[in-house]
Amino acid sequence: MTKPLRLGIAGLGTVGVGVVRIVQRKADLLAARSGRPVTISAVCARNRGTDRGVRLGDYDWQDDPVALAQRDDVDVFVELMGGADGPAKAATEAAIAAGKDVVTANKAMLALHGQALASAAETAGAALRFEAAVAGGIPVVKALTEGLAGNEISRVMGVMNGTCNYILTRMQGAGLPYDEVFKEAAALGYLEADPTLDVGGIDAGHKLALLASIAFGTQVDFANVELEGIQRVEIADIEQAADMGYRIKLLGVAQMTGRGLEQRMSPCLVPADSPLGQLEGGTNMIVLEGDSVGQIVLRGAGAGEGPTASAVMSDVIDLARGTRLSTFGQPASSLARPTPAKSAVPAPYYIRMELQDKPGALAKVATVLGDAGVSIDRMRQYQHDQANAPVLIVTHKTTRKALDTAIAGMGETGVVAGQPVAIRIEEV
Amino acid sequence: MTKPLRLGIAGLGTVGVGVVRIVQRKADLLAARSGRPVTISAVCARNRGTDRGVRLGDYDWQDDPVALAQRDDVDVFVELMGGADGPAKAATEAAIAAGKDVVTANKAMLALHGQALASAAETAGAALRFEAAVAGGIPVVKALTEGLAGNEISRVMGVMNGTCNYILTRMQGAGLPYDEVFKEAAALGYLEADPTLDVGGIDAGHKLALLASIAFGTQVDFANVELEGIQRVEIADIEQAADMGYRIKLLGVAQMTGRGLEQRMSPCLVPADSPLGQLEGGTNMIVLEGDSVGQIVLRGAGAGEGPTASAVMSDVIDLARGTRLSTFGQPASSLARPTPAKSAVPAPYYIRMELQDKPGALAKVATVLGDAGVSIDRMRQYQHDQANAPVLIVTHKTTRKALDTAIAGMGETGVVAGQPVAIRIEEV
């Protein structure tokens, strides 16, 4: 048998324990597929005493992840601590400096420091891989970097945060407002310690920025991801969008346009009968569009012990087999610095407003839209017994700027109560 | 710039031309991602004179694919001729013997000779890759061989022949019988020269056998794929299955059971609201189930110039990058000879029959089912104005053997007109 591939695992939370379990339980399978055994030399976590339900006695315990990363008996440093900076980054840098390959699930670290780390890895002749950082068990980094490598990618999009999709589909299914479902999700342990990472779209935005880098050959540019969370999504919009044949999703979209790289992570309407519209609960879905391949859709669990550990092992087995790729699919030095698009490509929009029950009210709104150059595709005024009538409008394609002009104009008509809600309809 | 990777392309049909186009149009992209230029040294096809709408003058023309495969200026032999034997096999063997890497889209050749060819390639130190042979542009070979390599795979299933799915969804959409839609598909050029390859499930069966080999670490065993085509699917069953919440798909299923390897390609009912049930038209979908990752669903175009060429290029770029994998994910010598399962794992079944309008008729049928150990989950008798009443039964899980006993028994009751139709319901 050839030399084993020896891992040093830093971080023994859910994912770390999952990786240990696979290495222990599937040793024969891993050896058969990798052509060599995969072993663990040492592990490291914050608290040595914790019972993690997995046998760790065979491995050296290392308190310091940096020391773990530098050990002579570690070929691959598996970074599962998380956190954009601090010990995760220090240990990753130490591993790279020591010429070790690194496998990480750390989307925040790569979204913020991916270019520097990838450059350092290349200089040191080390590999830095991150399948587990995006969409859990879905092998999307591999699909994009390798499977679709012959394509010019036109758009990458997807539902990349299971918690947000759970909240939105639960709101719809139970007819409950956001605040209540948020509390449920918290009680179920579905939320990050800082829930804004989830519901604010930050976690999903990190993932989108990583995919955009691979797709467009550009340096990771999380700072220019337009972020909007799901905190302001109202049950009324979920229900009325459904009535118009749509679902509301926290949708990530990255596309290269004539005006630069557009990266958005925001609530969008998608057709209810599209694969994205049909996605329920905590599942993730990524849609990749290439000039030759057309549209490829990938669906699976975006989080959890098994799925995320599966993705970590995919990178580990690649390294065991001798597969060595650039972190973002091409040398870091060749990645272009992206020009962020200043505005999103035109799209249809959904607008919901409360219209005062006065003669000519609808005409005034329609005039304001027309004056702003926004044309109406569909309109519905609902039966009501209040002073104000709920009105829904689906526009034809328009720019966000024209839409904002129209919405500002609506406020001046004196017939619209409160602030209209406008949500982009993404054509999928 | 490092040395180019030089292709020799045999076969200039739709896919071959697609590959030439990508190499010509995306030279910079390919070089950036591969780390080296990808070039074409020579091509070969049956008729030199055909206008293929693509510039070929820069490449040497070779009449004999075997000679092409052996050229000194060819690093990768790209086999796109098709056919299980004949020139495709001869040229592939010649390429391997000459130590050339081979990329092929030829499912028939690999389904029948995959083990021998993979062994020969390993002995010669050559790579033999076939992403384009299964599900067109969907990078499923990569997802299974690499992305899910840390998983014990429990089941692989999917819709792997777009033409069959087109026919079945068109039958449903237009309410047309099989024969008419078959003629439409033929007129649209959707069918292979020998249409039995499509509608008989053979082409899809080839693909299933290839995926099963990777999934279960077994030698390709197409001979033991249980094959049933869509030729006998009736519009009545499509419509009545829909009424019960199902869709009929030509579904491939491979799973390792306690009784051996089960491989089936046959019409099955799947829930209408499942990803497989929602798959319309010519699109393909593969579902991969692993012990860690859970269920991964991949969806995309299963045929056509762009998608298939995209898959070919995925293998080419892998080779350009230096990635070298065993054909079926582990050394051919380590692949086990599978024991075919003698019978499928139990499943619920859909049964449709015409029941004579006599007192006690339904009781007789129910008794026969009960005597055979088949229990009824749901039953519907439809309104009718003929002598016979359409009756639908959905059973609980049962073996095919018990079901066949029951159906034989129904014939003897004297109350069932004609032959009942029974279709497996696959739990997805």
Matching residue, tokens 């796109």: B80
B272 near A CB under 8 A = no
A300 near B CB under 8 A = yes
Asked if B137 and A293 come within 8 Å (Cβ–Cβ), the reply is yes
CA distance B187 to chain A (A): 24
Asked if B325 and A323 come within 8 Å (Cβ–Cβ), the reply is yes
Out of B89, B107, B207, B364, which one is annotated catalytic? Answer: B207
Q: Which of residues 155-174 of B touch A (CB under 8 A)?
A: none
pTM of the model: 0.97
User: What is the predicted ipTM?
Assistant: 0.96
pLDDT digits 0-9 by tens, A86-144: 999 999 999 999 999 999 999 999 999 999 999 999 999 999 999 999 999 999 999 99
CA distance B172 to chain A (A): 17
Residue B126: the pLDDT is 98
Residues of chain A with pLDDT under 70: 1
**What is the pLDDT averaged over residues B51-64?**
96
Asked if B33 and A299 come within 8 Å (Cβ–Cβ), the reply is no
* Identity of the amino acid at B355: L
Residue A56: the pLDDT is 96
Collect all residues of chain A within an 8 Å Cβ-Cβ radius of residue B331. Answer: 35
Of B30, B296, B324, Cβ closest to residue A300: B296
Asked if A131 and B147 come within 8 Å (Cβ–Cβ), the reply is yes
Alpha-carbon dihedral sign for residues B211, B212, B217, B219: negative
CA distance B123 to chain A (A): 15
The residues with which A426 forms a beta bridge, in sequence order, are: none
Asked if B142 and A142 come within 8 Å (Cβ–Cβ), the reply is yes
CATH number for the domain whose boundaries are A140-302: 3.30.360.10
CA distance B273 to chain A (A): 9
Count of C-beta atoms within a 10 Å radius of residue A119: 18
Mutation choice for A interface testing from B15, B22, B33 by most A CBs within 10 A: B33
Q: Which fold has domain B349-424?
A: Alpha-Beta Plaits (3.30.70)
CA distance A99 to chain B (A): 20
Of B150, B273, B313, Cβ closest to residue A22: B150
Joined together, the tokens standing for residue B231 give 């030729």
Residues in chain A, total: 428
- Overall CATH class of domain A5-133: alpha beta
Collect all residues of chain B within an 8 Å Cβ-Cβ radius of residue A295. Answer: 300-301
Residue B42: the pLDDT is 98
Where in chain A is CATH 3.30.360.10? 140-302
Q: Which of residues 303-322 of B touch A (CB under 8 A)?
A: 306-307, 309-314, 316-318, 321-322
Tell me, letter by letter, the H, E, C secondary structure of chain B: CCCCEEEEEECCCHHHHHHHHHHHHCHHHHHHHHCCCEEEEEEECCCCCCCCCCCCCCCEECCCHHHHHHCCCCCEEEECCCCCCHHHHHHHHHHHHCCCEEEECCHHHHHHHHHHHHHHHHHHCCCEECHHHCCCCCCHHHHHHHHCCCCCEEEEEEECCHHHHHHHHHHHHHCCCHHHHHHHHHHCCCCCCCCHHHHCCHHHHHHHHHHHHHHHCECCCHHHCEECCCCCCCHHHHHHHHHCCEEEEEEEEEEEECCEEEEEEEEEEEECCCCCCCCCCCEEEEEEEECCCEEEEEEEECCCHHHHHHHHHHHHHHHHHCCCCCCCCCCHHHCECCCECCCCCCECEEEEEEEECCCCHHHHHHHHHHHCCCCEEEEEECCCCCCEEEEEEEECCECHHHHHHHHHHHHHHCCEEEEEEEEEECCC
Where in chain B is CATH 3.30.360.10? 140-303+330-334
pLDDT digits 0-9 by tens, B158-171: 999 999 999 999 99
A291 → chain B, closest CA residue: B306
Active site residues of A: 207
For chain A, the C-alpha Rg in angstroms (whole number) is 24
C-alpha to C-alpha distance for A181 and A191, rounded to whole angstroms: 12
Collect all residues of chain B within an 8 Å Cβ-Cβ radius of residue A323. Answer: 146, 323, 325
Asked if A307 and B294 come within 8 Å (Cβ–Cβ), the reply is yes
Where in chain B is CATH 3.40.50.720? 5-133
Where in chain A is CATH 3.30.70.260? 349-424
Residue A383: the pLDDT is 79
What are residue B114's phi and psi, to 5 degrees?
A: -60, -45
Residue B382: the pLDDT is 84
Residue A222: the pLDDT is 98
A146 near B CB under 8 A = yes
Residue A425: the pLDDT is 98
The strand pair at A38-44 and A60-61 is best described as: parallel
Q: Does residue B384 carry a pLDDT above 80? A: no
Residue A1: the pLDDT is 54
pLDDT digits 0-9 by tens, B295-308: 999 999 999 999 99
pLDDT more than 70, % of chain B:
100
Q: Which fold has domain B140-303+330-334?
A: Dihydrodipicolinate Reductase; domain 2 (3.30.360)
